[in-house]
Amino acid sequence: MTSPSAPTIAGRGYARPEVLVDTAWVAQHLNDATVRIVESNEDPLLYPSGHIPGAVQVDWTTDLNDQVRRDYIDRSAFERLMSRAGISNGTTVVFYGDKSNWWATYAFWIFQLFGHTRAKVMDGGRLKWEKEGRELTREVPSYPASSYTAPERDDTAIRIFKDAVLRHQQARLPLIDVRSPQEYSGERTHMPEYPQEGVLRGGHIPGARSVPWARAANPEDGTFKTAEQLRDLYEREQGLKPSDDIVAYCRIGERSSHTWFVLTYLLGYPRVRNYDGSWTEWGNSVNVPIEK
């Protein structure tokens, strides 16, 4: 449980506190036509088992990923997704999800590739909403199709591809590996007979610092740590600076979206990119440097 003295979002010292809302705010905006609540989870069973009333689901496997290439959806598919969810260009989208919002920040990051800046995250996600005993429903809402115009996806500002990561690594610029210590060390690569995320080599990109993503959240209620606690983690422990050009990666880019979100919005770092190719690309690539 959150202790009574836990600071409010406004009192935690974040660079851009307006990007977070608390559960009470969401409860007060369930019928606000300018707001759409979007649930995005790793576990696809959670939304159909019960969700915040009025919330729509964005499913990372079927909605956000291109079904043929390894890439995200393009502009027209994003426009269709927005229209289906009844989201227009002026709608404020509030994301929430399981596991301290790890997949919620992934969806948030992809929405930013299309420039939907009216976007927020519900601090604490599903866990906090449930722990507070707030209402959940199995009723799937239906909204009138909206009209949505998206720009072409911008892969330059917050996304980075392998060749650029190689140059980044060779220039000894900061990389953050947000996977578990066992994945970082190469002791654990993938599960037996696992078809989708197998890798041929274990380890990490040389020079990458290990900061498991979940250290940025409070495990008891999924809320984000205060700015001061986050500075302890990234600046005092790891020596990062706000002026650094930083690349974060994990296995497929979802956990590193969480770290991207924390550094960009909560600490206000201007240059953080997510390498979504991550270890499933790097660990299968020929002739790239690996450290164990």
Partner 1 sequence: MTAATSPDLPAPLAALVAEFTALDRAERFELLIEFADRFRPAPAEITGYPYAEEHRVTHCESDAYVWAEGCPGSALKFHFIVENPQGLSARAWAAILDETLSGQPIEQIAAVPPDIVFAFFGREVAMGRGQGLMGMLALVQRLARNHRKGA
Least CB distance to partner 1 at residue 208 (A) = 19
Task: Judge contact between 72 and 66, C-beta under 8 A.
Answer: yes
Least CB distance to partner 1 at residue 142 (A) = 15
Least CB distance to partner 1 at residue 150 (A) = 25
Q: Which residues contact 187 (CB under 8 A, 6 or more apart)?
A: 202
Least CB distance to partner 1 at residue 9 (A) = 22
β-pair partners for 95: 38, 121
Q: Out of 9, 199, 250, 252, pick the active-site residue.
A: 250
Rounded distance, CA 75 to CA 72, Å? 10
Told to judge if 250 belongs to the known catalytic residues of this protein, a careful annotator would answer: yes
Task: Judge contact between 75 and 151, C-beta under 8 A.
Answer: yes
Rounded distance, CA 280 to CA 79, Å? 28
Least CB distance to partner 1 at residue 27 (A) = 19
Least CB distance to partner 1 at residue 210 (A) = 17
Q: Which residues contact 144 (CB under 8 A, 6 or more apart)?
A: 86
User: How deeply is 66 buried, as exposed, middle or buried, from its count of CB atoms within 10 A (0-12, 13-18, 19+)?
Assistant: exposed
In terms of CB distance, is 35 or 127 closer to partner 1?
127
* Per-residue tokens: 264: 């960009």
In terms of CB distance, is 47 or 265 closer to partner 1?
47
Task: Judge contact between 185 and 175, C-beta under 8 A.
Answer: no
Q: Where are the beta strands (DSSP E) in the chain?
A: 20-21, 35-39, 56-57, 92-96, 119-122, 175-177, 209-210, 246-249, 272-275
Task: Judge contact between 120 and 37, C-beta under 8 A.
Answer: no
Residue with tokens 């009470």: 24
Rounded distance, CA 71 to CA 3, Å? 42
In terms of CB distance, is 22 or 130 closer to partner 1?
130
Helix (H) or strand (E) holding 109: helix 98-113
In terms of CB distance, is 46 or 263 closer to partner 1?
46
In terms of CB distance, is 189 or 274 closer to partner 1?
189
User: Which chain residues interact with partner 1 by CB under 8 A?
Assistant: 42-46, 48-49, 61-62, 98-99, 126-127, 130, 190-197, 251
* Per-residue tokens: 182: 């066992």
In terms of CB distance, is 131 or 271 closer to partner 1?
131
- Would you name the residues annotated as active-site residues? 250
